Amino acid sequence: MSIFSDNIRFLRTQKNLSQQEIADDLSMSRVRYSKYEDGRSEAPYEILIRISKYVNISIDLLLTVDIRKYSLENILKLPDNRIVLPVIVDPEGNNFIEIIPHKASMGYLTGYSDPGYIESLQRISLPFLSNGKYRAFPADGDSMPPFMDGSYIIGKYVEKLQDLKPGKAYIFVTRNEGITYKTLMSGNKKSITVCADNSFYDPYEILLSDILEVWLYVWGLLPEDYRKYNSTDSMSVQDMFLELRKDIKKLNEKL
């Protein structure tokens, strides 16, 4: 047996259909369909497409995730056959939030679409976050204030780029930058313009084709020693570098 065969058997029983009924709907013989369901034969690509469209679940999901463990209504499926694992709740009904570890944050770029990687992540639940799919990302560097190193930024999954709103903060997962926390300024059909809360950094563009995922910022988890990042000395050094950067920019414009 395979994940695929287990899945299609499960989906058929959920629909209260016999093998003959679903085989007729798929325009194949019962014997042929039963071989796929029993794991005695591997379905060719054209059959995978036919079954995927029939059950309205992506091929990726059918082949790689045991959907018996999840609520089908809460599984987020993307147009290009990638998936975001479904909303999972704890015994009290609170949403579980996967945590991307600091030391392995770069691994997210290769693992974000791998159900095995996502399922291996640690989880927390926060009772005030519900009605959505949430994930916690590590802050890195000084371009994410007030979220310094050691902080975590919790985002709510955004299914469509058309839903992005200027002035809102997001966690962007891109091919070039990896995980980055920025505020959306504007956008067009090909790109968006974003800026860091730290004014030391200039706004810049991100091509829509480079975006892998977007998560709307909803909450931040700060480290125990967060206060030291807000010290007067720390801020004055930052201001000094900002002014120096502005002076250099003015000199370059005059040259």
Residue position matching structure tokens 């993307």: 78
CA distances in angstroms from 75 to 6, 20, 57, listed in the order given: 17, 28, 9
Confidence of residue 253 (pLDDT cuts 50, 70, 90): low
Q: Is the pLDDT of residue 94 over 50?
A: yes
Q: Among 132, 197, 185, which Cα is nearest to 158's? A: 132
Tokens of 71: 């609520």
Classified by CATH at the fold level, domain 96-221 comes out as: Umud Fragment, subunit A (2.10.109)
Superfamily in which the 3-77 domain is placed by CATH: lambda repressor-like DNA-binding domains (1.10.260.40)
Rank 105-109, 200-204, 243-247 by mean pLDDT and report only the highest: 200-204
For the chain, the domains span: 3-77, 96-221
Q: Is the pLDDT of residue 192 over 90?
A: yes
Q: How many helices (H) and strands (E) does the chain have?
A: 8, 11
Q: Are 5 and 36 in contact (CB under 8 A)?
A: yes
Find the DSSP H helices in the chain. Answer: 3-14, 19-25, 30-38, 45-55, 59-64, 108-111, 115-119, 232-254
Return the pLDDT at 235. 46
Return the pLDDT at 160. 82
